[in-house]
Amino acid sequence: MNIIVVEFIIYCIIIVLVGSYFSKSSKTQSDYLLGGKKLPGWALAFSERATGESAWLLLGYTGFVFMTGLSGIWVAVGIGLGIIFSWVFLAKVFMREQQKYNVLTLPDYLAVRFGQKAKLIRWLTSLLIAGFLMFYVGAQMAGAGKMLFTTFEMPPAIGMILATVVIILTAFAGGFISVVWTDMLQSIMMVITLVALPIVALVYINTNDLSITQSLATAGDSFDGWFGGLTGFALGILFFNNFAWFFGFLGGQPQLSSRFMALKNDKHANQGTIVAIIWTFLAYGGAFLIGITAIAIYDQGSFADVEIILPTMILQLMPPWIAGILLAGVLAAIITTANSQLLVVTSSVSEDIIHKALGVELTEKQLVWLSRFSVLFFGLVGMGIALVSESLLYLIVSWAWAGVGCTLSPAILMTFFWKRYSSAGVVATVLAGLISTIIWISTPLEEMMTSRFTTFFIAAFFGIVFSLLMPDKKENVMTDTKEGAL
């Protein structure tokens, strides 16, 4: 165990030092929030993937597969297709729109693009992002507490506090540039963990004459079926509930779309697309296999909390010095997502609300320091949420995915591809997505059909209706757009 402790400490020191080194590159607000177009496509792809997955993939999804069996594959299929779609069809559009409108954030882009209601759009989207993503940040910190409890029998609260310190340090000094480069290192650590562990688990299963097929058959009635033993309408509900993660990847996740906006040119976008797709196949294939092999190794009911399966397997199947490295991959997933989301919340408050919506005039240096103190403040708020919340990672991330990703994705798609989309349509999209998500997750409706599916289509429906009923005045669009950019 001492070896694992030493490796953890070394890993955290390296991450903080890397973040500190690259902090020297962040001299302007554009550098701090979007990297100033200085970063290569492959690094942005590693960062986007690490940011998109988090402790949810390593702890939440592996536990989900352990509890559901083969039908858990549809979550990976939905997410995988969403990732591929976003990189192939949206990344270059985001890059060009950022260059055209010279914006730093997703709310800033929508406000400038639809200038007739710029201030209202900026307020609504910023509050939506900040509100939901704070719970997402808290979920990552809770994941850190679970992992450190499993690894060192450390009180979860202490683990959350330690993780918060590392998360804030990596984001505070260098902002986006520091986060991307530390993300790259941590993204590699995540893939190593997700590829190495199922290989070792399969060897263990073969050596001990265990059978995955038999274990799936005895674990439960639905575990050995790709569709969970369901047919007809029930099968449709299963498919949509699991596949529905797809809809959150269609441009509406600000912590992911910021990586697209930071791309330099088409060459870097193509480079990033290849890296992201390969990473996705390796990571999700590995996570699915971890959950399936765990069914063969452990009996159902062996875990009071299934979200500690991965660190438990690492500690039991690996030599200590390798276990330390692989467990650092779990910590990497937590840090990468938390500091990226923390930066998005910070940008929503410092850039979109204080600087743009309220019109507070600050120098570039003052804007950077405002963002830094926002990182510190919201990092502590996220830690507070983690300390008082007992909700599962899977559920919290699912709700945040619906509230932000599935609300803003239809807004982005219609902005990019539908000329009749109006400023009133944007407001209607955001309000409908926000209200429907809150209603859905607060009632039994969520158990019938996930809000990740319903939010997207409800938000899109109201966006289309209000765009047709209340189109923008063509003669004022250019004038209002310019005013919204000021």
Task: For residue 367, tell me if it sits in a domain.
Answer: yes
Query: What CATH code is carried by the domain that includes residue 248?
Result: 1.20.1730.10
DSSP 3-state of 153: coil
Task: For residue 467, tell me if it sits in a domain.
Answer: no
- Supply 169's token pair: 């340090």
- Helix (H) or strand (E) holding 410, with range, is helix 406-417
3-state SS track over 265-326: CHHHHHHHHHHHHHHHHHHHHHHHHHHHHHHHHCCCCCCCCHHHHHHHHHHHHCCHHHHHHH
Is the predicted pLDDT of residue 479 greater than 80, yes or no? no
The pLDDT confidence band at residue 144, using thresholds 50, 70 and 90, is: confident
Which amino acid appears at position 471 of this protein? P
Is the predicted pLDDT of residue 477 greater than 50, yes or no? no
Could you write out the DSSP letters of every residue in 78-142? Answer: HHHHHHHHIIIIIHHHHHHHHHHHT-SSHHHHHHHHTGGGHHHHHHHHHHHHHHHHHHHHHHHHH
The rounded distance, in Å, linking the Cα atoms of 140 and 120 is 30
Is the predicted pLDDT of residue 391 greater than 70, yes or no? no
Task: For residue 410, tell me if it sits in a domain.
Answer: no
Given this model, what pLDDT does residue 91 score?
A: 95
Task: For residue 457, tell me if it sits in a domain.
Answer: no
In terms of phi and psi (left: phi > 0; alpha: psi -120 to 50; beta: otherwise), the region of 229 is: left
Give the residue among 140, 180, 197, 154 at the shortest CA–CA distance from 8.
154
The rounded distance, in Å, linking the Cα atoms of 160 and 312 is 19
For residue 420, report the phi and psi dihedrals to the nearest 5 degrees. Answer: -90, 0
Are 266 and 32 contacting, i.e. CB atoms less than 8 angstroms apart? no
Given this model, what pLDDT does residue 396 score?
A: 67
Given this model, what pLDDT does residue 394 score?
A: 54
Given this model, what pLDDT does residue 230 score?
A: 57
DSSP 3-state of 362: coil
pLDDT, tens digit, 9 for 90 and up, residues 306-363: 878 888 899 899 888 888 887 777 777 677 777 777 878 888 887 788 878 787 777 7
In this prediction the pTM is: 0.82
Task: For residue 282, tell me if it sits in a domain.
Answer: yes
The rounded distance, in Å, linking the Cα atoms of 142 and 390 is 8
Range of the domain at 274: 2-392
Task: For residue 404, tell me if it sits in a domain.
Answer: no
pLDDT, tens digit, 9 for 90 and up, residues 177-236: 877 888 888 788 889 889 999 999 999 999 999 899 999 988 887 888 887 665 555 666
Given this model, what pLDDT does residue 285 score?
A: 95
Is the predicted pLDDT of residue 108 greater than 80, yes or no? yes
- Supply 57's token pair: 């993939």
Q: List all residues 6 or more positions away from 264 whose beta carbon is below 8 Å from its beta carbon.
A: 37, 39, 40, 41, 95
Domain count, the chain: 1
Task: For residue 194, tell me if it sits in a domain.
Answer: yes
pLDDT, tens digit, 9 for 90 and up, residues 59-78: 888 999 998 899 889 889 98
Are 178 and 26 contacting, i.e. CB atoms less than 8 angstroms apart? yes
Given this model, what pLDDT does residue 389 score?
A: 65
Q: List all residues 6 or more positions away from 330 whose beta carbon is below 8 Å from its beta carbon.
A: 55, 58, 59, 147, 193, 310, 311
Q: What is the mean pLDDT of the chain?
A: 83
- Burial category of 379 from C-beta neighbours within 10 Å (exposed 0-12, middle 13-18, buried 19 and up): buried
More confident residue, 237 or 403: 403
The rounded distance, in Å, linking the Cα atoms of 306 and 45 is 30
More confident residue, 228 or 299: 299
Task: For residue 398, tell me if it sits in a domain.
Answer: no
The pLDDT confidence band at residue 280, using thresholds 50, 70 and 90, is: very high
